[in-house]
């Protein structure tokens, strides 16, 4: 398996410490880290847009923008494995140590896959993110869910992501503890069951709404019940709803947001 070259560094964002979790550390005290980076072709050095970057240990991920850049705003500190995939390139894997309270920066390169075939049919499809963004207004007009456009978010000016949904019907927002509050939707509020969280169309396993930074809120969709949740945002067996976040620096976001009709701008 090949194809992934890693160049990494860390930018201090807090007190220095071990990159691995301390033995005996309580689960609630686990340290977090940020991962940002760049994905490029090993042969040309050009950036790769739309590559999927996943931290295999935590399940958090991101998609590269037009410049090949990506950002995973919060994950668990410690050792993890990065997987990078893009059509036409060999999948790449590498280990990385994520220092607590720091931003780790990486440069990843992918090698092309060589396939010999007799006949080739090329079909151009939208990326999952572009397809979901294009459906934002369509989903809004169907009347299911609660939607926050870029203008809504600016007007509400939330200090934490949870502040965006505080006060909505059938939404429970807990007390702020350790810089975040728990959010429960619909039946999940009674069951203390957290909603599924999606970032740029990608499911964020084990992540809560307030694990995100305020600045990543470009547009938000909130689905309080499984019956109103679109199929692409449903998890098997989940009845706790979903929160879908679109980041403002993701590929195509500014073009999409600029096309929103009044009064959605």
pLDDT digits (tens, 9 = 90+) for 135-148: 777 888 887 889 99
The answer on 202 and 97 residing in a single domain is no
Residues found in the chain? 265
- pLDDT tens across 37-68, in order? 999 998 888 999 888 899 988 888 888 988 99
Q: Which residues contact 152 (CB under 8 A, 6 or more apart)?
A: none
**What span, in angstroms and rounded, lies between the C-alpha atoms of 81 and 153?**
34
What pLDDT is stored for residue 199 in this prediction?
87
Q: What is the DSSP letter of 111?
A: P
In a domain, 264, yes or no: no
| Cα 184 from chain centroid (whole Å) | 19
What does the pLDDT read at residue 104?
Answer: 93
pLDDT of the residue at 72: 92
Residue 186 shares a structural domain with residue 220: yes
In a domain, 123, yes or no: no
Q: Are residues 104 and 77 in the same domain?
A: yes
CA separation for the pair 30, 18 (Å, rounded)? 12
CB 82 within 8 A of CB 54: yes
Angle at 8 between CA 6 and CA 13, to 5 degrees: 155
Which of 89, 16, 25, 101 has its CA nearest to residue 53? Answer: 89
Least confident segment among 95-109, 120-134, 202-216, 233-247? 120-134
Query: Is 121 a domain residue?
Result: no
What range defines the domain where residue 203 resides? 128-258
Rounded mean pLDDT of 125-140? 66
- pLDDT computed for residue 129 by the predictor: 57
Instruction: Decide if pLDDT at 201 tops 60.
Output: yes
User: Biggest alpha carbon distance in the chain?
Assistant: 62
194 in any annotated domain = yes
Q: What is the average per-residue pLDDT within 188-199?
A: 79
Instruction: Output 259 or 112, whichever has higher pLDDT.
Output: 112
Residues 150 and 247 in one domain: yes
Compute the distance between CA of residue 243 and CA of residue 224 in angstroms, rounded to an integer.
8
70-79, 101-110, 184-193: least confidently modelled range: 184-193
d(C-alpha 49, C-alpha 20), whole Å: 31
Q: What gap in Å lies between CA 198 and CA 62, rounded to an integer?
A: 10
What CATH code is carried by the domain that includes residue 164? 2.170.130.10
Looking up tokens 């934002």, which residue turns up?
A: 136
């Amino acid at each position: 398996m090949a194809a992934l070259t890693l160049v990494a560094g860390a930018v201090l964002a807090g007190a220095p410490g071990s990159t691995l979790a301390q033995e005996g550390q309580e689960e609630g005290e686990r340290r977090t880290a940020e991962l940002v980076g760049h994905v490029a072709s090993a042969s040309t050095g050009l950036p790769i847009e739309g590559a999927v970057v996943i931290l295999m240990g935590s399940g958090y991920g991101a998609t590269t923008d037009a410049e090949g850049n990506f950002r995973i705003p919060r994950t668990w500190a410690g050792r993890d494995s990065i997987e990078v995939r893009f059509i036409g390139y060999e999948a790449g894997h590498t280990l990385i140590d994520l220092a607590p309270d720091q931003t780790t920066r990486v440069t990843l390169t992918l090698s092309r896959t060589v396939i010999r075939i007799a006949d080739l049919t090329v079909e151009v499809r939208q990326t999952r993110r572009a397809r979901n963004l294009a459906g934002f207004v369509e989903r809004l007009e169907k009347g299911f869910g609660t939607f926050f456009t870029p203008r809504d978010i600016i007007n509400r000016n939330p200090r934490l992501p949870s502040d965006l949904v505080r006060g909505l019907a059938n939404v429970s927002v807990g007390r702020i503890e350790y810089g975040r509050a728990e959010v429960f939707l619909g039946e999940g509020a009674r069951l203390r069951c957290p909603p599924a969280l999606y970032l740029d169309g990608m499911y964020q396993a084990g992540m809560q709404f307030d694990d995100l930074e305020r600045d990543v809120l470009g547009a938000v969709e909130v689905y309080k019940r499984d019956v109103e949740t679109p199929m692409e945002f449903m998890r098997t067996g989940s009845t706790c709803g979903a929160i879908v976040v679109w980041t403002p620096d993701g590929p195509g976001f500014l073009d999409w947001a600029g096309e929103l009709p009044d009064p959605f701008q």
